[in-house]
Amino acid sequence: MKILLVANTDWYLYNFRRALAHRLQQSGYDVTLVCPPGPYVDRLQDLGFKCTLLHFPVDKLSPLRELRVLLNLIALYRREGPSIVHHFTIRCVLYGSIAARIVGGISVVNALTGVGHVFTANGMKARLVRRIVGFLYRHFLTGSRSRAIFQNSDDMNAFVSAGMADIARSHLIPSSGVNCSTFRRSRERQWSHGQRVNVLFGSRLIREKGVMEYIDAAKALRSRNLPARFMLAGDIYEQNPSSLTRSDLDAIRGSGAVDVLGHVDNMRAVLDETDIVVLPSYREGCPRILVEAAAMGIPIVATDVPGCRVVVDHDITGFLVPPRDANALAQAIGRLVRDETLRRRFGQAGRLMAVYNFDESIVLADTMRVYDRLMEPGPEAPYAIACSTTQ
């Protein structure tokens, strides 16, 4: 069977779905990766994957350009004739589901890895777009040939309650998985008296990730002469209206509160020198940076919101603090910086959680079962919680 994996960046497919593509090939699928052109396309092709380029505009929303994306997807699906298409990220889920319905005869898997800016923002434009997107979801994501994969139960329940997903065709698979054999410490961290503790924020630089709260917390803790180095790994994301700008980044660099690392290709190497990972997000699917941190045995400070709660058990693998609260964030980070024993305890518990819940072998097996259930003839089966967690 032919399967298309469709995402709006080549970076996403390379970093998050490369292992899935390998597993599909090993299982006999004819796999094609669909994404815009970018530096990771060559890497994917060097690994033996077929890639088809599809442009997704990244500038301001234009109905004409969005329509062109939809028409290009329709043409692609007609030309390729896939048995299954697996969509990642909101735009691909929406346009790809519409295209598959128009073409007909295609089974669809939609990975809803979070609700996105449209469902978290409160501006007038976001509310209008939310109504339109909700209408389209209700009409195109709930067909008998469609399956939805959610990364946390809050998102799944919200979509089902709003009629945007069918409980009988929804699956819960926390995270895209992480290779716990690769993501582990190369050596045990040792700290001497007065040595700086390395604190890392690693994510796209959009405001909903809590990046400004992290900056404020870093400024507050630096003013108290806390022995810590604060790092910011990630780049701006022009496709998101709440992305930081280049001028924002220049101001952050000028403040001296954090070391701006920019885009990081080898996150494992950075995590190997990291002592605390921080993600004060407003809402998540299941953040990869937290799963990687847990696998590396790194304690976490995150917000008590959907997605983050999947990875962080409060006072067991890290701390959960209220969203949009830089003071609470600073207090939690400061407590971990000062307490080496607590860091080790949280890190050990996080490693165990990652191995038993988030290893990519588990996630890949659960995803393959979704494909199998989708292609099986017969009556619908109830939804599957495909990966247990400690929550």
Residue 212 sits in the same domain as residue 314: yes
Residue 371 sits in the same domain as residue 228: no
pLDDT exceeds 50 at position 379: no
Residue 353 sits in the same domain as residue 363: no
- 206 DSSP 8-state letter: B
Token code pair at residue 266: 């080898």
pLDDT score for 376: 74
- The more confident residue out of 118 and 296 is 296
pLDDT score for 228: 95
pLDDT score for 59: 59
Residue 131 sits in the same domain as residue 65: yes
Mean pLDDT of the chain: 89
* Separation CA 203–CA 363 (nearest Å): 22
pLDDT digits (tens, 9 = 90+) for 356-374: 999 999 999 999 999 998 8
Give me the phi and psi of 29, to 5 degrees please.
-75, 150
Is residue 183 one of the residues assigned to a domain?
Answer: no
Could you tell me if residue 105 is left (phi over 0), alpha (psi between -120 and 50 degrees) or otherwise beta?
Answer: left
pLDDT digits (tens, 9 = 90+) for 267-294: 999 999 999 999 999 999 899 999 999 9
pLDDT score for 383: 39
* Whole-number percent of the chain with pLDDT over 70: 90
Residue 40: count other Cβ atoms within 10 Å of its Cβ: 20
pLDDT score for 121: 58
pLDDT exceeds 80 at position 342: yes
93 confidence band (pLDDT: 50, 70, 90): very high
Residue 91 sits in the same domain as residue 108: yes
Residue 310 sits in the same domain as residue 343: yes
pLDDT digits (tens, 9 = 90+) for 171-218: 999 888 999 999 999 888 877 666 899 999 999 999 999 999 999 999
pLDDT exceeds 90 at position 128: no
238 confidence band (pLDDT: 50, 70, 90): confident
Query: Which residues pair with residue 171 across a beta bridge?
Result: 149, 384
Q: Positive or negative CA dihedral for 141, 146, 152, 153? A: positive
Residue 281 sits in the same domain as residue 368: no
* Separation CA 113–CA 47 (nearest Å): 25
pLDDT digits (tens, 9 = 90+) for 44-56: 999 999 999 998 8
Residue 160 sits in the same domain as residue 298: no
Residue 364 sits in the same domain as residue 353: no
- The more confident residue out of 325 and 59 is 325
* Strands (E) located in the chain: 2-6, 30-35, 50-53, 84-88, 107-112, 146-150, 170-172, 197-202, 228-233, 259-262, 276-279, 300-303, 318-321, 384-385
* Separation CA 324–CA 333 (nearest Å): 15
pLDDT digits (tens, 9 = 90+) for 106-115: 999 999 876 5
Is residue 90 one of the residues assigned to a domain?
Answer: yes
* Separation CA 277–CA 59 (nearest Å): 31
251 confidence band (pLDDT: 50, 70, 90): very high
Residue 42 sits in the same domain as residue 130: yes
Q: Look-up: residue for tokens 């860091």?
A: 343
Number of domains in the chain: 2
Q: The domain that contains 334 carries what CATH number?
A: 3.40.50.2000
Instruction: Provide the H-helix boundaries in 243-338.
Output: 246-255, 267-272, 288-295, 308-311, 326-338
Give me the phi and psi of 17, to 5 degrees please.
-130, 10
* Separation CA 197–CA 221 (nearest Å): 12
* pTM of this prediction exceeds 0.85: yes
Residue 131: which domain range?
A: 2-177+359-385
Is residue 192 one of the residues assigned to a domain?
Answer: no
